[in-house]
Chains A and B, each alone.
Chain A
Amino acid sequence: AEDTGVRVELAEEDHGRKSTIALRLWVEDPKKLKGKPKDNGAIEFTFDLEKETPDEVAQEMIDSGFFHENDVKIVAKSIRDRVALIQWRRERIGPALQ
Chain B
Amino acid sequence: NSLTQVVHSAGRRFIVSPVPESRLRES
Contact = CB atoms under 8 A, between A and B. Distances in A.
A19 interface: no
Interface string B1-27: 000101011101111111100011011
Nearest to B2: A41
A26 B7 CA distance: 18
A42 B14 CA distance: 10
Nearest to B4: A41
Contact of B14 (A29, A56, A61): A61
A81 interface: no
A40 B24 contact: yes
Contacts of B12: 45-46, 57, 60
A91 interface: no
Interface of A: 3, 7, 26, 28-29, 39-46, 56-57, 60-61, 63-66
Interface of B: 4, 6, 8-10, 12-19, 23-24, 26-27
